[in-house]
Amino acid sequence: MTLCARGAHWPLGVLACSLFALGWAAIATSPPRLIYNVSDSVPVGWYRILPANSLASGDLALVRLPPEARSLAAQRG
């Protein structure tokens, strides 16, 4: 392998690492967009999460409970 051929591979490596980092940042920091409900509160199945500016009667809302409320909800089922 010549020096020229060896040096030609590093831009591809940098590009691959950059794309991986961007993809990881997009996945790791974004909230879930699709959840699976197993509780009996609503029909079991997959639900897509969309941002809402307002709620109407009959809409479902998904909230993140504080740790204390989360543990209480887990105990109660």
pLDDT in tens, the chain (77 residues): 555 566 677 788 888 989 988 888 777 766 778 889 888 888 999 998 888 888 899 888 888 889 999 999 888 87
Amino acid identity, residue 73? A
What is the domain extent for residue 60? 3-76
Question: How many structural domains compose the chain?
Answer: 1
- Distance of alpha carbon 40 from alpha carbon 27, whole angstroms: 29
Compute the radius of gyration of the chain from its Cα atoms.
22
Q: Return the number of other C-beta atoms located less than 10 Å from residue 63's C-beta.
A: 6
Closest CA to 39 of 49, 30, 47: 47
- Distance of alpha carbon 17 from alpha carbon 10, whole angstroms: 11
